[in-house]
Amino acid sequence: MSHSISAAVLHELSTPFRLETLTLEDPVDDEILVRIVSAGICHTDIKVSKGYAGVPLPVVLGHEGAGIVEQTGKRVMTLVPGDHVLLTFDSCGSCPQCSTDHPAYCDNGQTLSFSCLGRHRMSPLTLNSERVYGNFFGQSCFASHVISNERNTVKVDDEFPLEKLGPLGCGFQTGAGAILKVLQPSSGQSLAIFGAGNVGLSAVMAAVIAGLDPIIVVDKNVKRLAMAQKLGASHAIDAGNEADTVAQIHRITGNIGVNYSLDTTNSPALVRQAFESLANRGSCIHSGGGGKDLTFPGTHLLHGRSVQGVIQGDSNPRVFIPQLLNYYRDGLFPFDQLLSFYPLAEINRAVAEMSAGQVIKPVLQMP
């Protein structure tokens, strides 16, 4: 049997998404048919729609889906129809990284996320019998229904609102994981966050949970700085007004520098500032998207400082997403304050408003 579904299709790079009715095949083996309720839009979707990673076309993007299981392949053991689920990045489960609890660094992750080819067939999607590529991050969730895999489908408790959950599968676990999973700081240590988008602001929430102090946030968008302070940041630096951000961070920390810094901007100048803000033996996390050459002063590196690249917060989503949801239930991870909702049909407006910095995290609601 096959299913008639709605999806936003990218036919050519750098063109608007077009809403189409596609045919979706049944799930096989370890695949799962999920009816999508919400799908976050991530900057990676926008970069890919302009040519990053060279995905085949036409394609359905989207990698922050949440929904309800409708059907499962024969080999699926842990999920049944009716389960509420959150979709996240895909991983192979058998490489050295997956085997040691680091699926975000799966040796096959790049292929599984960006080849848009399924494990069992090229794609489950067609438009008038012509192939449309799916399987983007093992999901392609800018659609009413998707085929996911058991490995990238995380069961969540029915008590949580599916219409809000999508973005936990990428953006929010990235920022929160950078703090709670990678840095694992001690209470009272200091942190500077560069960029107050969804990754930076989820890092603020995680930093509050971890008891960091001060929590300094740098951005040039004053509305986002206000949001950072509302979420618990102790200091906001307006990079548009402050001539010397690094000096300001040193002033705030009694001329020592911060124990940790996190760059979410992917601007080489700001990554350098994040590094230069560090105290001796401090760690800077670069989680800003990659693809650019970065430079650091070598003498500064000598004093035990380090720079580490991080994707997906080095999260094991099956463990970390339920943890984040528990924090959300307890009022400690109010990620829903950062969401703006759009119907799927208005995906192009959502992308435009995200690109213009007018909204922090757009979430598509499915028909």
Closest by CA to 181, choosing from 60, 86, 331, 317, is 317
H helices present in 95-170, as ranges:
96-99, 109-114, 162-165
Nearer to Zn ion, 282 or 313 (CB): 313
CB hemisphere CA count around 1 (13 angstroms)? 5
Cα separation, 83 vs 158, whole angstroms: 8
CB-based contact 106:91 (threshold 8 Å): yes
Report the nearest approach of Zn ion to the CB of residue 364 (Å). Answer: 14
> Which is nearer to Zn ion, 13 or 95 (by Cβ)?
95
With tokens 């700081």, the residue in question is: 185
Residue 172 or 260: which CB sits closer to Zn ion?
172
In the complex, what is the shortest distance from the CB of residue 180 to Zn ion, in angstroms, rounded to a whole number? 18
Under the rule (CB under 5 A), what is the footprint of Zn ion? Answer: 42, 44, 91-92, 95, 98, 106, 170
Judged by beta carbon, residue 182 or residue 246, the one nearer Zn ion is 182
Helix (H, G, I), strand (E, B) or coil at 12: coil
The nearer residue to Zn ion, 88 or 277, going by C-beta atoms, is: 88
Short-list 240, 246, 224, CA closest to 360: 224
Distance CA 345, CA 347 (A): 6
Among residues 48 and 239, whose Cβ is nearest to Zn ion? 48
- Report CA torsion sign: 103, 107, 113, 117: negative
Q: How far is the CB of 48 from Zn ion (least distance, A)?
A: 10
Residue closer to Zn ion by CB (options 113, 144) is: 113
* Shortest CB 195 distance to Zn ion, Å: 15
- Min dist CB 167 to Zn ion, Å, is 9
Least distance to Zn ion, CB of residue 63, Å? 6
Q: To the nearest whole angstrom, how small is the minimum distance from the Cβ of residue 145 to Zn ion?
A: 20
Rounded to whole angstroms, what are the CA distances from 195 to 271, 340, 357? 10, 19, 12
Please give the DSSP secondary-structure letter assigned to residue 366: -
- 8 and 132 Cβ atoms separated by less than 8 Å: no
Task: Evaluate the CA torsion angle 211, 212, 216, 221 in order and state its sign.
Answer: negative
